[in-house]
Chain A
Amino acid sequence: MAHFLTRVLKALCESPLRILLLFFVVLFRSCQYVCVRVLRAERRKSVSGETVLITGASRGIGRCLALEFAKHGADTIVLWGRDEEKLSSVKKEVEDIGTSRCHYYRCDVGDREQVYRTIQKVQEDVGTITILVNNAGVVHGGTLLETKDDKIEETLRVNTLSHFWTTKSVLPSMLARGRGHVVGIASTLGLFALPGVSDYVTSKFSLVGFYESLAAELREQGHRDVGVTCVCPGHTTTDMFKDLTTQPFSLTPQQVAEQTIEAVKTNQRRVILPRVMHLTWILKSWLPGSWMRNVLYVTGAMKDMDNFCAKR
């Protein structure tokens, strides 16, 4: 009888109490986060002495990231790209800064076997990689029905699956050493969609999901010393989206690189650039779906994508 009563009492008390507890934990965590961010009191780590691998490093954000990591004193920087000429000029720029050694490899990240082969070679030549920056990406404009099938497959291979291959190959050594960081450059188009680039949106949404899962997984396994960062930059003034006409809140690749390194140092898991885009994401999640459509129409984003597609 006593046993039964305790059980009933427990069931009665436990759930509301636990929900109350959850509420406090969430509140506490949120306050903690806000305070830490406002006071800039995060635990910071240094990137000096690290071995950094950057994919898609021949131009745009990748190039700026390489230079920025060099300025922050990374020991070795490994550049991956498809254009050796451009890579060697980036290598020269990195070496001119004078703090880090630099290697470059020709690698098409869309090809799984090539990724594994090149990683192997890098690990033989340079040693283990402690920071991985998955940055390579492609975009083909065009409405869904106009986009060719092989372009869709290429976008998914390069933008999404490559992150699986590179992460899978460097993560074991990071976990073994208890030190490392995986950075993925996604896009704000991974948080809300735009018409006219459905394959790109799909690939970037996937990335956001991938890094969220990866962060959860490492956390659950207790690997707190291996960081995961997913960066979602808005429109950046690189060659990639140069055909896009309206460019409110455009970022320079330099800004993205600086913010990315800042995020690595402070172990942020999700970075949305520019910050105001976070508001768009909140509104997109809070308001009915037709709201977002209206914004696209009124701000002319719908037409821009048309122009963008037409120019490609």
Chain B
Amino acid sequence: MGFVQLGLLIWRVTCAFVSALAQVFLPARKKSVEGDVCVITGAGMGIGRLFALEFAKLGATVVLWDVDKAANEETARLVQAAEGKAKAYVCDVSNKNDVYRIAEQVKTEVGDVSILVNNAGVVCGKTLLELPDEGIQRTFAVNTLAHFWTVKAFLPGMLANNHGHIISIASIAGHYGGVGLCDYSASKFGAVGFEECLRYEIRRTGKQGIYTTAAYPWIISTGMFEGFTPKEGWLLPPLEPQHAVNSIMQGILTNREVVFVPGYLNFFTFLKPVLPMDAMWAVVKFFGIDTAMDTFTGRRKEE
């Protein structure tokens, strides 16, 4: 690496830093998603449903994917009741053939997909030795591998039109491991890595019209993490679903690459690489997250 390159690097880093700082203080302009076709996985419940309503409100056609047909239809009904355009498809994202087949169907029936929200996720919430093997495989299939299949299905179309946005709803557990989260954390770490890779790969194609957003929310009170009770719950209470969705939508519409909800969780990302693990453990203990999963019940539904 020569001096010229080093100088260039320092210049670019400074530019990146200044523009990132500017974004903190200057309100960025929101982009329009009117007329876009937006695929949302896991749209049957929780924040997937709220995303569908938000995107429909902004004039996008929402394509709803979920394994649960009834819940998915209900979301479609809600969107249509709010005078939005919605179309529901039953799709198990853990099955790649299903994803590819329905992606084709969407392309012919609705049109070119320009926004993809990878939102579907599952959690087992058991310690490693209690985890059933099928549960681990399912967690990976839904939380990690499904991102590969959906992106592979829709990215070529976005590249051809030079217009698109890929949103990964990961979790704060994608940055920190925790008790009772062996499979969930591992799968979400994977999703974070995948998103980072995807960001570079899209950038490398030179297409300026395709954006990515990674969202790392704290626990959202949608029932997915029912029973997760940190001792110091008042410090980091579970997020209201609507609040979380609003924050993430703000990030999406301003093309931000990374959105932490609440934003100050980003602070711990700064701490993690510099604090030894013992010190980080003290922080975790302080918030009472170490024992929070003991009372976990999760979403009780008949499979």
Q: Which residues of A are at the interface with B, using a C-beta cutoff of 8 A?
A: 18, 22, 25-26, 29-30, 32-34, 112, 143-145, 149, 152-153, 156, 160-161, 164-165, 167-168, 171-172, 189-190, 192-199, 201-217, 219-221, 269-270, 278, 281-282, 285-291, 293-296, 298-299, 302
> Are the CB atoms of A291 and B17 closer together than 8 Å?
yes
- CB neighbours (8 Å) of A25 from chain B are 279, 282, 286
Q: How far is the CB of B135 from chain A (nearest CB, A)?
A: 10
**CA A165 – CA B133 in complex, angstroms?**
8
Task: Please determine whether A193 and B279 come into contact, CB atoms closer than 8 angstroms.
Answer: no
Contact B144 A156 (CB under 8 A): yes
Q: What residues on B are CB-neighbors of A286 within 8 Å?
A: 270
Q: Does B78 contact A (CB under 8 A)?
A: no
Q: Which residue of A lies closest to B11 (CB)?
A: A294
Q: Tell which of A112, A195, A270, A278 touches B277, judged by Cβ atoms closer than 8 Å.
A: A270
> Do B151 and A195 touch across chains, with their CB atoms under 8 A apart?
no
A252 to B188, CA, bound (A): 31
A34 to B279 alpha-carbon distance, docked (Å): 11
**Chain A minimum-CB-distance residue to B192:** A205
Q: Interface size of B by Cβ–Cβ distance < 8 Å?
A: 75
- Is B179 positioned at the interface, with any CB of A under 8 Å from its CB? yes
Q: Which residues of B contact A202 (CB under 8 A)?
A: 144, 148, 190-191, 193-194, 197
**Inter-subunit contact A193/B275 (CB<8 Å):** no
Q: Is A18 a contact partner of B286 (Cβ separation < 8 A)?
A: yes
Neighbour of B178 across the interface among A152, A195, A205, A213, CB < 8 A: A213
- In order of increasing CB-CB distance, the 5 nearest A-B pairs are A212-B177, A205-B193, A209-B189, A213-B177, A193-B196
B259-278 toward A: CB 8 Å interface, digit per residue (1/0)? Answer: 00000000001101111111
Mask: chain B, 141-175; 1 = CB below 8 Å from A; 0 = not: 00011001101100110000000000000000110
A164 close to B286 (CB less than 8 A): no
Specify the main secondary structure of chain B where it touches its partner. Answer: helix
Docked CA distance A161–B13 (Å):
37
From A171, A209, A211, A270, contact of B188 by CB (8 A): A209
Contacts of A33 in B (CB 8 A): 276, 278-279
| Neighbouring A residues of B110 by C-beta, 8 Å | none
Interchain CB contact under 8 A, B277 and A215 = yes
Report yes or no: A26 in contact with B148, Cβ–Cβ below 8 A: no
Question: Given the complex of chains A and B, what is the CA–CA distance between A213 and B186 in angstroms?
Answer: 8
The answer to whether A293 touches B200 (Cβ under 8 A) is yes
Are the C-beta atoms of A196 and B201 separated by less than 8 Å?
A: yes
A152 touches B148 (CB 8 A): yes
Cross-chain contact B129 with A195 (CB below 8 angstroms): no
B228 is an interface residue with CB less than 8 A from chain A: no
Per the bound structure, the CA–CA distance linking A174 and B244 in Å amounts to 42
Q: Mark B233-257, 1 if CB is under 8 A from A, else 0.
A: 0000000000000000000000001
Residue B203 interfacial (CB < 8 Å): yes
- Asked if A288 and B179 make an inter-chain contact with CB atoms under 8 angstroms apart, the answer reads no
Bound CA span A24–B134, Å: 43
Asked if B282 contacts A156 (CB within 8 A), the reply is: no
- What chain A residues lie within 8 Å of B137 (beta carbons)? 161
Question: What separation, in Å, do the CA atoms of A153 and B146 have in the docked complex?
Answer: 11
Question: Considering only CB atoms, which chain B residue lies closest to A221 in the complex?
Answer: B127
Q: How far is the CB of B286 from chain A (nearest CB, A)?
A: 4
